[in-house]
């Protein structure tokens, strides 16, 4: 009990000094300077852009349909045979 009372102020002093040193170390770091982004003037043909987007959407649509079709076929396939349709004669 006595050692706990004596060690508490020492631990507090050590923790406080370490915290102050850590605060001082972070305060001395150099602040980064940020440069403005470089603006580039880009001209795009509107018709070409529309054509490319439409082709992309069509191909993506076909890919999604085929993937969904495959997933549907997999999910509809029987996983295990629970019961058989055969009638057995008892003996």
SS (H, E, C) the chain: CHHHHHHHHHHHHHHHHHHHHHHHHHHCCCCCCCCCCCCCCCCCCHHHHHHHHHHHHHHHHHHHHHHHHHHHHHHHCCCCCCCCCCCCCCC
| pTM (predicted TM-score) | 0.39
> For residue 13, is it within any domain?
yes
Number of domains in the chain: 1
Q: Write the pLDDT tens digit of every residue in 19-65.
A: 666 655 555 667 778 899 899 888 889 999 999 999 999 999 999 99
Q: Which residue range(s) make up the domain with 50?
A: 2-26+43-76
> For residue 19, is it within any domain?
yes
């Amino acid at each position: 009990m006595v050692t706990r009372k004596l060690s508490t102020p020492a631990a507090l002093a050590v923790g406080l000094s370490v915290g102050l040193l850590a605060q001082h170390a972070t305060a001395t770091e150099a602040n980064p300077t940020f440069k403005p982004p470089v603006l580039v003037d880009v001209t795009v043909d509107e018709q070409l852009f529309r054509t490319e987007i439409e082709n992309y959407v069509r191909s993506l649509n076909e890919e999604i349909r085929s993937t969904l079709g495959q997933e549907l076929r997999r999910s509809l396939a029987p996983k295990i045979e629970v019961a058989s349709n055969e009638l057995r004669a008892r003996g």
